[in-house]
Structure 1
Amino acid sequence: MLKWALIFLVVAIVAAIFGFSGIAGAAAGIAQILFWVFLVIFIVSLVMSLINRPT
Structure 2
Amino acid sequence: MCDRIPIPTDGSEEARNAVDHGIDLAAAVGASVHAPFVVESRLSALQSDSMWRGSNG
TM-score by length of 2: 0.43
TM-score by length of 1: 0.44
Bigger-Rg structure (1/2): 2
Which of the two has greater helix per residue? 1
More strand by share: 2
